[in-house]
Amino acid sequence: DTAVSQTPKYLVTQMGNDKSIKCEQNLGHDTMYWYKQDSKKFLKIMFSYNNKELIINETVPNRFSPKSPDKAHLNLHINSLELGDSAVYFCASSPTGLAGDLNIQYFGAGTRLSVL
């Protein structure tokens, strides 16, 4: 069983559309994250959720919104997609929050988003 799974794996869409990426973890972890990896492989944290509370909101546009229906899921909604949103988006989870000693990140396989 995949520990952190995200869907879809590939997403191709037109500028201006709204799209969602789903993420689920079956590890029983307390904290989940979304990262963006650009074409130069630079990985940047976007959000994290701990027990349904947003605890980090890096300076991302408010077109991006995380939604967590329960501890095992953290979905990413993107409104009015722009060309610059093209990237690979990774979901991750960790047993504790970032301040904890068990902040090891477990990553999903990524969603490659292409905005045309």
Q: Which residues bind other proteins (CB under 8 A)?
A: 4, 33, 40-45, 48, 55-56, 58, 90, 92, 98-99, 101, 103-110
Q: Which is nearer to other proteins, 56 or 72 (CB)?
A: 56
Report the distance separating Cα 30 and Cα 71, nearest Å. 7
Q: Which is nearer to other proteins, 72 or 98 (CB)?
A: 98
Taking the complex as a whole, the smallest distance from the CB of residue 80 to other proteins amounts, in Å, to 25
Report the distance separating Cα 95 and Cα 76, nearest Å. 20
Taking the complex as a whole, the smallest distance from the CB of residue 20 to other proteins amounts, in Å, to 19
Q: Which is nearer to other proteins, 79 or 107 (CB)?
A: 107
Taking the complex as a whole, the smallest distance from the CB of residue 74 to other proteins amounts, in Å, to 15
The answer to whether 102 and 47 have CB atoms below 8 angstroms apart is: no
Q: Which is nearer to other proteins, 14 or 99 (CB)?
A: 99
Taking the complex as a whole, the smallest distance from the CB of residue 55 to other proteins amounts, in Å, to 7
Report the distance separating Cα 106 and Cα 96, nearest Å. 12
Report the distance separating Cα 45 and Cα 27, nearest Å. 20
In 3D, which of 97, 106, 111 has the Cα closest to residue 27?
106
